[in-house]
């Protein structure tokens, strides 16, 4: 059963796409991430042009983050002023990212930049998570107390423009949250990700936000960034395919809910170990595709130059 995608202008097996949404949704629900970093490469592997894959994945991110954020909102675990401040940087980052996206499309280096950013981001995050989770697991086995590392960032406290964030019990400069938002906005536009796997560690380790508000706040910020990026991709690059988005989202939201239940049965460090392995696997596959000799060194693009 194939269905025609009006913007990608190609046919896909619709069950395959719903299944893809289901699997990625399951993993994202289980690990508490948006899943964009898995969705974009998987769509590209299944033959969707990378511009459409990047732009359409964001709808999946919006939906799965929405689902998670509502649960957090009921628990009053969202720091809206913090999400708002990060969003200021996020909007700037998204605009820069969309501009870079169009520039790379013109230069013909889109696929390379997307793949390289993925390899670098996923490779480094994967290695950090793997080491951290293995260390925690080892400490847990040997019965030793897990050392709570409390690194201070005095430079962060010396920055101007301080603001009080009641829910996070913080009085810090707005510059670090704006900067984090900016970086995530750029990545969101180029890679089609929400950026949860960057925002969450940044909130915990850089901003020192209490963990109970981190998840909800990052989800709220991701929803906003993914919405803005979707709108910009739709208006600037005409790359969002609503039929593909519907297929992915339908599978994704169901998968996410099932994933949350599955995740509840595992311990945090076990989850992080599994996520680290998953992230590294995607990074290695993408790296392999960059360095392996292609079957044909020539590629063809039909249509007017972007």
Partner 1 sequence: MRRLIPIALLAFGTLGAAPAAAQEIVSGISQDVIQITSNYTGTDIVVFGAIDRIDTPQNRNIVVVVRGPDTPMTVRRRDRIAGVWVNSDAARFTGLPSFYYLASTEPIERVAPPRALARYGIGADYLLPAGVFSHHDPQPFRQAALRHLKQQGLYAEMPGTIDFLSETLFRTRVPVPANVTRGQYNVEVYLFRDGEVVSAQSTPLFVDQTGLERRLFNLAHNSPLIYGLACVFMAMLLGWISSVLFRRPV
Q: Which residue number, 62 or 217, has a Cβ lying nearer to partner 1?
A: 62
Site for partner 1 contains 242 (CB under 8 A): yes
Distance CA 8, CA 47 (A): 10
Q: Which residues are registered as beta bridge partners of 163?
A: 172
For 61-90, letters b (16+ CB in 10 Å) and e give: bbbbbbbbbeebeeeebbbebbbebbbebb
For partner 1, the binding residue among 15, 16, 71, 179 (CB under 8 A) is 71
Applying CB under 8 A, the site for partner 1 has a residue count of 62
Nearest C-alpha neighbor of 39 from the set 30, 201, 26: 26
Out of 27, 34, 233, 282, the only residue in the binding site for partner 1 (CB under 8 A) is 233
- The token duo for 28 is 């994202």
Q: Quick check: 63 binds partner 1 (CB under 8 A)?
A: yes
> Minimum Å distance from CB 86 to partner 1?
19
Among 109, 124, 211, 281, binds partner 1 (CB under 8 A): 109
230 binds partner 1 (CB under 8 A): yes
Nearest distance from C-beta of residue 194 to partner 1, angstroms:
12
Per CB under 8 A, 65 contacts partner 1: yes
CA 217 – CA 87 distance, rounded (Å): 11
Give the x-and-dash track for 4-43 against partner 1 (CB under 8 A): x-xx-xxx--------------------------------
Whole-angstrom distance, CA of residue 133 vs CA of residue 274:
9
Q: Which stretch binds partner 1 (CB under 8 A): 35-43, 108-116, 152-160, 271-279?
A: 108-116
Quick check: 156 binds partner 1 (CB under 8 A)? Answer: no
Say if residue 59 is exposed, middle or buried (CB neighbours under 10 Å; 0-12, 13-18, 19+).
buried
User: How far is 231 from 238, CA to CA, in rounded Å?
Assistant: 10
Q: Which residues bind partner 1 (CB under 8 A)?
A: 1-4, 6-7, 9-11, 59-60, 62-68, 70-71, 108-109, 111-112, 116, 223, 227, 230-235, 238, 240, 242-243, 245-246, 249-250, 253-254, 256-257, 260-261, 264, 290-291, 293-294, 296-305
């Amino acid at each position: 059963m194939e269905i025609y995608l009006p913007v990608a202008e190609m046919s896909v097996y619709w069950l395959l796409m719903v299944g893809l949404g289901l699997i990625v949704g399951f993993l994202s629900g289980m690990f508490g991430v948006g899943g964009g970093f898995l969705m974009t490469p998987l769509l590209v592997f299944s033959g969707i042009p990378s511009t459409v894959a990047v732009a359409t994945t964001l709808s999946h991110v919006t939906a799965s983050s929405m689902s998670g954020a509502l649960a957090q909102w009921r628990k009053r675990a969202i720091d809206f002023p913090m999400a708002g401040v990060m969003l200021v940087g996020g909007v700037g980052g998204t605009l820069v990212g969309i501009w870079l996206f169009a520039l790379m499309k013109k230069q013909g280096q889109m696929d390379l930049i997307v793949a390289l950013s993925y390899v670098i981001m996923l490779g480094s995050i994967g290695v950090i998570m793997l080491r951290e989770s293995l260390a925690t697991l080892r400490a847990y086995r040997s019965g030793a107390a897990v050392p709570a590392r409390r690194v201070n960032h005095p430079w962060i406290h010396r920055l101007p423009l301080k603001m009080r964030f009641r829910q996070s019990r913080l009085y810090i400069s707005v510059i670090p949250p704006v900067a984090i938002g900016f970086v995530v906005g750029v990545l969101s536009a180029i890679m089609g990700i929400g950026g949860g796997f960057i925002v969450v560690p940044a909130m915990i380790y850089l901003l020192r936000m209490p963990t109970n508000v981190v998840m909800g706040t990052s989800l709220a910020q991701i929803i906003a960034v993914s919405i803005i990026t979707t709108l910009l991709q739709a208006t600037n690059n005409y790359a969002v395919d609503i039929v593909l988005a519907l297929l992915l989202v339908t599978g994704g939201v169901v998968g996410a809910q099932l994933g949350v239940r599955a995740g509840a049965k595992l311990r945090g460090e076990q989850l992080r170990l599994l996520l680290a392995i998953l992230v590294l696997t995607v990074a290695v596959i993408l790296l392999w595709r960059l360095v392996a000799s292609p079957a044909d060194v020539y590629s063809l693009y039909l249509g007017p130059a972007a």
